[in-house]
Amino acid sequence: MKLLNIFISITLTFHSLQLIAEENYSKKKVFDSLIQPVFVAKCLECHGPNKSKGKLKLHTREDFLKGGSGVGQDILIKGNIDDSELIYRITLPKDDDEAMPPMEDEDHYNPVTKEELTVMKAWISMGASFDLLVSDLDEQSKKYALHVFKNMPKKLLSKSLALQPKLPIVPPADPDSLEKIREAGLLVMPIAQNTNTIYVNASYTGKNFTDENINLLKPISKQLLWLNLARTGVTDQGIADLSGHLLLSRLHLENTNLTDEATHHLSKLPNIEYLNLYGTQVTDASIPKLKKLKKLKKVFLWKTKVTSKGAETLRKSFVDSQSYDKILSQLKGLQASILKLKKSEELKLEKLEKVAKEAGDKTADKTPINKNCPVSNKAVDDTKFSIFEGRKIGFCCDKCKTKFESDGAVFRSKIKGFKASEEYISCYSDVQKAQLAMDKSIETKQQELRVVSGKLQGMGPEVNLGWQNQIVTK
């Protein structure tokens, strides 16, 4: 009996707390406490202060009511759920281009739930007042509102945002130093919104930018993330003066007079991910130095003196050598297999095409099957004819005959009721089947090649040696 009383007491206490919680929820405003949190979690990435896709912003009431491009105030029509653009977009099939939120892939999809949508609809149907309380909702909508309160929406990054690199947090650059850089003719701008990291482009100044100008960048060494010195007059000594720019992750040095001495200095920049040395004088002697760039993801060595062997050595230094060699061996094996298969199938095809040609060059027709020349449309001369796809075709003159024989397929439609001989049709069908079989076999092998090639490309940095001199992985 005593235990029963304790159980009843606990149950009543829990029920009382639940009633108090529900009473507290009922005093909250529907928009502020239920709808705006949905916007924050699921919409502001595309429709917020930093990005306004379709010129629609949802981070404030005022911006929300303005709507977006082509929508305007139709984004929300008080008392009318069906015509409110907000509800229309949310309820579109997830694969529709205009659906909100957009569907990129299942792992990053964060749609509005049934309960959240029901609360939105109830709010709109009751006049969409920003002062509407949860207690003003009908009983069914209150239940859904309570569910939302207990399961508040959580922000889930989209696939594209999840893949974006995180920018380092750095203090603001000195405004006077930035102004001096701009006065020298350089482009200076933040990498993105809401960041102090900086991108500097000196390529516009050409050879006027020399080693002396590198000193202009020294005051922003803690902010400089991307630097473009392509086509400038910078030398190996100038690159030595960049050694203090430890934040640099992207560096353009293409079409400059740099040598292997420059890569000695570059090897001291620990955060380099992208390096463009196109058109420089670097050689395979730079490979041991580039190996030290542990974060390197992509390097351009086209039109340098680096060889394919040197480039492959560089990539292998970033991965397990045995695994790399094993996959590389698979790749070369597949490439050889495809060449062998293609040669074998093409020989079969050539034999069938020869048989089809022989069938097309003979005919059982005693006289031309056409009354009018397919070239001139004049009456045919029975002594002027040619055998085409197993049929005798007549012409009005030798000139038309010669023209037809250069490409008979062009004039096929001009031969009334034309039909190739049965023997040719059968032989040509064999050619088509063989062609399809060959294409299918080769495509199957090429698909295997793409898979293995993809594995190899994912190992170590991408090394670009140009179209004519790529390493085997590309």
When mean pLDDT is compared over 64-68, 302-306, 322-326, the highest value belongs to 302-306
Phi, psi of 458 (to 5 degrees): -80, -5
In a domain, 101, yes or no: yes
18: pLDDT strictly greater than 60? no
In a domain, 123, yes or no: yes
Looking at residue 107, its pLDDT comes to 61
pLDDT: which is higher, 474 or 138:
138
Looking at residue 470, its pLDDT comes to 43
Q: Residue 12 — pLDDT band, cuts 50, 70, 90?
A: very low
Looking at residue 7, its pLDDT comes to 45
Domain of 224 in residue numbering reads as: 175-319
pTM of the model: 0.52
377: pLDDT strictly greater than 60? yes
Looking at residue 324, its pLDDT comes to 83
Same domain for 347 and 456, yes or no, is: yes
The CATH code of the domain that includes 299 is 3.80.10.10
Same domain for 190 and 301, yes or no, is: yes
Count of structural domains within the chain: 3
Q: What DSSP character marks residue 133?
A: B
Asked if residues 356 and 428 have their Cβ atoms less than 8 Å apart, the reply is yes
474: pLDDT strictly greater than 50? no
Q: What is the CA radius of gyration of the chain?
A: 36
Same domain for 283 and 330, yes or no, is: no
Neighbours of 239 (CB within 10 A): 25
Same domain for 138 and 185, yes or no, is: no
Looking at residue 55, its pLDDT comes to 78
Same domain for 338 and 311, yes or no, is: no
418: pLDDT strictly greater than 80? yes
Same domain for 212 and 81, yes or no, is: no
Identify the domain boundary among 162, 192, 225: 162
In a domain, 14, yes or no: no
Same domain for 179 and 314, yes or no, is: yes
Same domain for 250 and 314, yes or no, is: yes
Same domain for 383 and 415, yes or no, is: yes
Identify the domain boundary among 132, 162, 192: 162
In a domain, 239, yes or no: yes
Looking at residue 14, its pLDDT comes to 45
Identify the domain boundary among 162, 197, 227: 162
Mean pLDDT of 4-25: 50
Whole-Å CA distances, 79 to 125, 150, 181, 296: 4, 27, 57, 57
Same domain for 281 and 382, yes or no, is: no
In a domain, 16, yes or no: no
pLDDT: which is higher, 308 or 321:
308
Residue 258: name the closest of 228, 238, 287 by CA: 238
Same domain for 218 and 123, yes or no, is: no
3-state DSSP call for residue 454?
A: helix
What proportion of the chain, given as a percentage, has pLDDT over 90? 52
Mean pLDDT of 102-129: 82
338: pLDDT strictly greater than 90? yes
Same domain for 413 and 454, yes or no, is: yes
216: pLDDT strictly greater than 70? yes
In a domain, 34, yes or no: yes
21: pLDDT strictly greater than 70? no
Asked if residues 134 and 34 have their Cβ atoms less than 8 Å apart, the reply is yes
Q: Residue 20 — pLDDT band, cuts 50, 70, 90?
A: very low
Mean pLDDT of 346-351: 94
